[in-house]
Amino acid sequence: AAFDVQAVCTGFVYAIGVADNFVRAGSARRALVVGAATLSRIIDWSDRSTCVLFGDGAGAVVLEASERPGIISTHLHADGAYESLLRVRAGISKGYKQVQAGEAFMEMKGNEVFRMAVTTLGRIVDETLAANRMQKSDIDWLIPHQANLRIIGAAAKKLSLPMERVVVTVAEHANTSSASIPLALDV
């Protein structure tokens, strides 16, 4: 099987969850999971609040069944109520002609996105640790979505992890949406 999972910045995490379930169920021996984004086509280059933050990128991993622990669990959530915080007003699929004409751009309310990301990440960290009967001290490394350094730092603080144990590549790659985690895995 081959298919696309569209979930913007969380696309790679959603795809890993799907692939992991295929492997665990025995429907696949291994799976190639690719995270890719070409945000440059929806960036308004005159908007300094967004154009300096985002980049294009791609990365991939291969998952396969193993006796060694790998993916322990995935916890996926979505809430469309916050759509106005980060969006492309025309929509990518509905507004394809506007995207092609350079008329559909990413819009972001940065401060609100920051607050929502930190709150949501904290809640998911607590949920994931509880579901796996783990403590913060059980975490050796954090490889987060590379949204921005402030959000990554807040996540590390929530986990009581020093930044030396957090993979940070946002300065090299920018926020590459669904490509950020697979790119960060190649450090």
**51 has catalytic annotation:** no
d(CA 172, CA 25): 37
Yes or no: say if 88 and 42 are a contact pair by the CB < 8 Å rule.
Answer: yes
As to burial, measured by CB atoms within 10 angstroms (0-12 exposed, 13-18 middle, 19+ buried), residue 60 is: middle
Identified catalytic residue from 9, 51, 75, 77: 9
Identified catalytic residue from 51, 111, 132, 145: 145
The residue type found at 39 is L
CB atoms closer than 10 angstroms to residue 171: 8
**77 has catalytic annotation:** no
Catalytic residues: 9, 145, 175
